[in-house]
Structure 1
Amino acid sequence: MTIILTLLDLAGIVALLLWGVRMVQTGVQRAFGPRLRVVLAAALGSRPRAFLAGLGVTTLLQSSTATGLMVTGLAAGGVVGLVPALAVMLGANIGTTLIVQLLSFDVAKVAPLLVLAGFLMFRRGMATRTRDLGRVAIGLGLMLMALHQLLAALTPYEALPALRDVFALLSAEPVVALLLAAALTWAAHSSVAVVLLVMSLAGRGVVSPEAALVLVLGANLGTAANPVLEGAPADDPAARRLPLGNLLIRALGCLVALPLLPWLAPLLLAAEPDAPRALADFHTAFNLILALAFLPLLPPYAALLKRLLPARLEQDDPTRPRHLDKAALEAPVVAVGLAAREALRLADVLQEMLQGVRDAFAQDNRRRITETRRMDDVLDRLNGAIKAYLMALDPEAMTEADQRRAERILIFATQIEQAGDVVDRNLMALAGKRLKRGLAFRPEQRKALLVMADRLAANLGLAASLFLTEDRRAARLLAEEKEQFRAIELAATQAHFAALRQGQGGVAEVDALQLDMIRDLKRVNAHLVEAAAYPVLRSEGALLPTRVAPEP
């Protein structure tokens, strides 16, 4: 029973350490996330600047995975080269070691002060960034408390023969120890937490210096495996270049360092007798040496990765999301941007459907009608994927701007999908009905419908642009289109009633069909306005609650 309670205590302490790491990461992301991405984007022009930017950003985030996701988002579509992206990752790998360097000193006494300061900043701070920095301070305090409690919990069991036998076995099997630490880091999603745990065990003499160095190598390997195993899509080789390239660099470093550890361990302890400090120095030195060795070799290395992982030539399934990287869910500022890119694909698909509508007005082609109706399935599946992706984001890790942007993405995707439903179920059904009954529009009717279809396509382009820019003037222009479509529908309705009064039965049937198509084109336009214009106008208080004039 005592052993079970001890294991539960250790599990709780480790969970507290992981939660502290997470609070630091999410606090920095919420406070500086968009700016950090701008810094990375500005630094990706050259290898040295990219390296330093990766080091600096990751020092704040304490997550090389989050930094890598930002770079991957910027590099998507070939906008940023693979060489500077790899340079960022080399810098990011060093950045994650700096917090370990700080916590390797005896700073546990400042933990209560950090928690108190963070609590006051979080509860009393008026600015959002002050509250987020308070979250960071609380996270650092919890990490220090967890490490202090871990040392206290291990003290009674330091001399247990069974515990020492287990770690002696790890010392005898360095490959097993390496893979075990890599698996633990992958499960914890934090090399910082695992390295700190190893430092605590080594500081108490539970783990031999050589075994501790092997475990640190495994932590470096495991943190590079996360993006490869969980984030990069298996069917897009080009998207796997950056995470796989970073993993191969770490793996090569481990292969070179592993045989040297029996000689390195005594040298490190001779230079730094304190075991935790020696491990922190080794952790930093390992990544620094890898960066110095590979930074000059990145151009040929990137060329090799491109040869091994060529870009995908075509998208086999148009209903499959292309930009919703699951690993990016850890960095909401990146994930929201990827969801926005995927939402623009909905606009592209709807644009193709509107071209099908125009073709249905201009010619008699049943095959084109069928092809257009099938595109609605693409809209349905992409919309569902975007919703599921955004719902998987952690609200606690999102800033107010992230949440507002995610809400607008959901509105845009939903309205575009509903516009596609109108095209599929109404406009294409009416086009098929016209062909089935052998009805023909008069030249002026056909021309009027084509003009409306062209105007609707232009409005869709404006809506997609407005979705990105959120410009108030463009929002007003798009909103005013509703009045234009109402006027067109009213004129067509009056012409239809005039034909009925004149007793023109055959002509009236064609007029009724045209009127139904105009009505549905107006409905599609209304969805475009709801998708892009109204959210902007509503947020600025420029949207009236009703069009009905108040009673006198």
Structure 2
Amino acid sequence: MITLLHLMSALALLVWGTHIVRTDVLRVYGAQLRRILSTSITRRSMAFTAGVGVTSLVQSSNATAVIVCSFVAQGLVGLTPALAIMLGADVGTALMTGVLSFDLSWLSPLLIFSGVVVYLSRRHTSIGRLARAVIGLGLILLALEMISAATRPMMAAAGIKVLFSSLTGDIMLDALIGALFAMLTYSSLAAVLLAATLATSGVISLKVALCLVIGANLGSGIMALISAASQNVAGRRVALGSMLFRLSGAVIALPLINFLEVWIAYLTTDLRFGVVAFHVIYNTVRCSLLLMLVEPMSRLCVRLLPDRELDDDGVHARHLDPAAIDTPTLALANASREVLRIGDIIEKMLNSLLLVIRENDTIRATQIRKLDDDVDKLYTELKMYLARVSREELNAKEVRRWTDIITLTINLEQAGDIIVRIVKGVESKKIAPQRTFSAAGMQEVCEMHARLVTSLQLGLSVFLEGDLRSAQKLLAEKESFRDLERAYAKTHLVRLAGQTQQSIETSSLHLDLISDMKRMHSLFCSTAYSVLDEAGMLRRSRMDPGSSAAEVMLDERSGDYSHPP
């Protein structure tokens, strides 16, 4: 029981080590690796080589599959070069398995020690993340040594031998076990190395180990299919084509397994080397031959997964690439692009709002409600996307950007709700009873609306570029707009005192409207605070130390930023 527990813990350590290496390499070099994959598509050989190189670094063909599927789903890469990249990824992970199969146990303590020292001192930097990847590599080597040590006592345990012999009755069952293990560990590398270690220890035969290797390749392909399930049809075709390539290799290799066993046993007596060498040769030969068939496979995948007409059920996020989650810089850039898209929808709602107010356009009112549904959908998708970006792994600048994105997203969603509320008020208090604003009142609303749209555009520009002068201008505009709202409220009361009939009939709607516009304007101007705070131009109130920077006001005469007395 203790021996089995040691083996399971060693396997867990192996999986964890590969996860750390994959995650941190993507976080540091994710942008560069993605750029290599997206640009190396002019020739099949270049795409194949890019797949080999990138997968060798991240030590996971599944990670490469997720990236490539997302590229194809967004239309950045064609299906044919994507399949060539995936074939290269299979070779890349096989090569890394070959490297790790050597006896590098002496290197494990050095990697772990040096990695921990650097990581603790440079935790939130790129160097610290690379040090964590070095720790992961050391854990992989340590886990392999532990697996080897844990399997030695199994030789003396008759029950273990009986268990393995009962589970390996035929080649199909062996391949299935290999596929299941690769799926459970999310790593074909771990499955292959375990098969090699068990074969060396005599727990399983060479034939069983070879079947486990072929099954591990199939399991990796199944995991790619599962990961691509959330992509559109174009993205799923990549995973399907890769799986069909793997399946075709298994169909050819499994019937020849007895011959391959004899051949490998004849060439070497080192079963560990033989199993790993078979994995490398199998994938290299298979992928090199299948590289010539990527175009026919592309056509087959298109036939098996044809394009479908999209249902008109509103917008969907365009830039929230799930493959970029492990690369915070890219993930935040994607989220920034999506929140700017939400801002464009809010601007469209504002432009339609003026027509509803001025011309009683009920068609525009319906369109505004539809656009608000789109905003709510994008808001939810963006919020969930940002929640998947681990803030613990972000540096100070990235945390600030993460906060800015989620804050602007919330503010824009609230602005959309305010616009819908204004539309409801106009419909019930102006359109239904067939009332109109006075000429002066309508002019005030149009002026506030124009300044509101301008501030929204400026606020989005400040969010995108972080320009200090624009942030100062935006905050000054906030104070000017607040003064304008107060002035127009007073002039409205003057019209009421003058017994202006139109003003009397629409008084409640008019005051609510300019008040809601002021609130929306404050939401649009909130992007200025982060820029000013970073420049050191904000200070908190002495009377209220817990108040937020979002309550800070601009004194235009002194240029000082402080809370109102």
CA contact (8 A) 1:238 1:312 kept: no
2:295 to 290, 296, 299: 299
Given that 1:23 and 1:136 are in contact with CA atoms closer than 8 Å, whether structure 2 keeps it comes out as yes
Which amino acid is the alignment partner of residue 547 of structure 1?
M
Instruction: Compute the displacement of 1:216 (Å).
Output: 0.8
RMSD value over aligned CA atoms?
3.3
Give the equivalent residue in structure 2 for 1:191: 188
1:305 and 1:409, CA in 2 relative to 1: closer, same or farther beyond 3 A?
farther
Q: Which moved more, 1:148-157 or 1:533-542?
A: 533-542
What one-letter code is carried by the residue in structure 1 that aligns with 2:189? V
Q: 2:414 aligns with which of 403, 414, 418?
A: 418
Report the equivalent of 1:547: 553
Aligned length: 547
Higher mean C-alpha displacement, 245-254 vs 403-412 = 403-412
Alpha carbons 1:66, 1:328 under 8 Å: kept: no
1:267 matched to 2:263: yes
Partners of 1:444 and 1:294 in 2: how far apart? 75
- Kindly provide the amino acid, as one letter, of the partner of residue 108 in structure 2: A
Match of residue 502 from structure 1:
498
Moved more, 423-432 or 453-462: 453-462
* Contact 1:231/1:326, CA 8 A, preserved across alignment: no
Whether 2:133 is the aligned partner of 1:136: answer yes
Gaps (5+ residues) in structure 2?
A: 540-548, 556-561
Aligned to 2:73: 76
Moved more, 90-99 or 477-486: 477-486
Give me the whole-angstrom Cα distance separating, in 1, the residues matched to 2:65 and 2:108: 30
Q: Within the alignment, does 1:163 sit opposite 2:160 as a pair?
A: yes
- Contact 1:233–1:325 (Cα < 8 Å) also in 2: no
1:249 alignment counterpart: 245
* Residues 223 and 360 (structure 1), Cα distance of their counterparts in 2 relative to 1, 3 Å cut: same
- Which residue among 277, 283, 301 is the counterpart of 1:281? 277
Counterpart of 1:384? 380
Does the alignment pair 1:22 with 2:28? no
The more displaced of 26-35 and 369-378 is: 369-378
| 1:309 is aligned to 2:315 | no
* CA distance, structure 2, for counterparts of residue 228 and residue 151 of structure 1: 32
Distance 2:398 2:40 in 1: 23
Q: Quick one: distance in 1 between partners of 2:385 and 2:251?
A: 37
In the alignment, the residues of structure 2 paired with residue 100 and residue 420 of structure 1 have an alpha-carbon distance, to the nearest angstrom, of 53
| 1:322-346 alpha-carbon deviations (Å, 9 max, x no partner) | 7667676566566556555654553
Task: Provide the secondary structure at the position in 2 that maps to 1:249.
Answer: helix
One-letter amino acid of the structure 2 residue matched with residue 197 of structure 1: L
For residue 93 of structure 2, what is the amino acid of its counterpart? T
Distance of 1:308 and 1:454 partners within structure 2: 52
8 Å CA contact retained: 1:73, 1:338 = no
By how many angstroms is 1:356 displaced? 3.8
Gaps of 5+ in 1: none
Residue 211 of structure 2 is matched in structure 1 by: 214
Residue type matched to 1:158 in 2? M
1:43 maps to which residue? 40
- 1:412–1:67 distance in 2 versus 1, CA, 3 Å: farther
- TM-superposed CA distance for 1:393, in Å, is 4.1
CA contact 2:73–2:233 (8 Å) conserved in 1: no
Matches of 1:62 and 1:362, distance apart in 2: 62
**1:97-156 CA-partner distances (Å, limit 9, x unpaired):** 222111211111221111111122213448822212221221122112222122212111
2:350 aligned to 350, 354, 359, which one? 354
- SS for the counterpart of 1:172 is coil
Equivalent residues of 1:170, 1:211 under 8 A apart: no
**In the superposition, relative to structure 1, how do residues 411 and 245 fare at CA in structure 2: closer, same or farther (>3 Å)?**
farther
Q: CA deviation at 1:193?
A: 1.4
- SS of structure 1 residue aligned to 2:106: helix
| Cα deviation, residue 503, structure 1 | 3.3
> What residue is the counterpart of 1:114 in the other structure?
111
- The equivalences for 1:403-414 within 5 A come to 403-414=399-410
1:414–1:486: structure 2 CA closer, same or farther, 3 Å change rule?
Answer: same
Measure the CA separation in 2 of the matches of 1:305 and 1:144.
Answer: 39
Q: 1:328 to 1:251 in 2, by over 3 A?
A: farther
3-state DSSP of counterpart to 1:78: coil
Matching residue of 1:522: 518
> Is 1:240 the equivalent of 2:236?
yes
Partners of 2:308 and 2:461 in 1: CA distance: 27
Distance in 1, Cα, partners of 2:433 & 2:486: 26
Confirm or deny that 1:432 pairs with 2:438.
no
- CA shift, 1:48, in A, is 2.5
Partner of 2:197: 200
TM-score, normalised with respect to structure 2: 0.85
Secondary structure of the residue aligned to 2:307 is: coil
Q: Check whether the contact 1:231–1:327 (CA below 8 A) recurs between aligned residues.
A: no
Residue type at the aligned position of 1:116: F
In the TM superposition, what is the alpha-carbon distance from 1:450 to its structure 2 partner? 5.1
